[in-house]
Amino acid sequence: MEIVERQGALNEVAHHAVEVGLCGMCTRNFRDGTGCCLAFPEGIPTKILIGEVDHTKPVHDDNGYQFVPLAGYKEMFPGFKYPEE
């Protein structure tokens, strides 16, 4: 039971990261609740979701797509430092 609860908690963290983390500021995010994007149509890897892997640069299996910020992301997320800044 503990493993299932832990997996549920990890899924919740990953879902939150898709919405508000770097992925939440990306034009390539599907924004359909699936946790998928053009780079990762089967699901964004957890290490990218939690910021452990920088996806402003190419990574294995990203289908040639990397992070592209939404227009107005600075106003949507004040204080967030975009990796290239």
For the cut 70, the answer to whether the pLDDT of residue 72 exceeds it is: yes
Query: Rounded mean pLDDT of 59-63?
Result: 96
Whole-model pTM: value is: 0.68
**1-53 pLDDT per residue, tens:** 444 444 444 455 444 445 567 888 899 999 988 889 999 999 999 899 888 89
Q: What is the DSSP string of the chain?
A: -HHHHHHHHHHHHHHHHHHHSGGGGBTTB--SSSS-BSS-TT---HHHHTTSS-TTS--TTSTT----BPTTHHHHSTT---TT-
For the cut 60, the answer to whether the pLDDT of residue 60 exceeds it is: yes
Distance between CA atoms of residues 40 and 28, nearest Å: 10
Q: Domain boundaries in the chain?
A: 2-71
